[in-house]
Amino acid sequence: MEKYAWKAKIVDGALEEYVRRHDAIWDEMKSVLNEAGIINYTIWNVGNELFGYYECKKGVEYAAKVQSESPVVERWNEYMKDILIMEMDPETGAQPRLNCVFSFN
């Protein structure tokens, strides 16, 4: 199973709103994540920084393809852009993937 990690920043003072929006994540967004084979999705924060991690049952490329083609993800990104600072990868249109430099199983 492939793993995916990303990072972003929250606009100053918007952490509470970021958490509120994720607590009420749309059912249709959950469906897209399920369709993409994404499991164990977790997001952490420290200060204004975010770190996200998920596992891809069907591979990273498949997960990226499903998300990049989804109008739901496009609407979610639009919904979040006033509180989230994230530079997207120009090639994939997704969050830039962090490189794993250590893993302990």
User: Is 22 an active-site residue?
Assistant: yes
Alpha-carbon separation of residue 53 from 12, 60, 72, 85 (angstroms): 22, 12, 20, 17
Out of 12, 19, 20, 22, the active site residue is: 22
Both tokens of residue 105?
């199983």
Query: Nearest CA to 49 among 4, 3, 12?
Result: 12
Structure token digits, residue 14? 């918007």
- Catalytic residues, by residue number, are 22
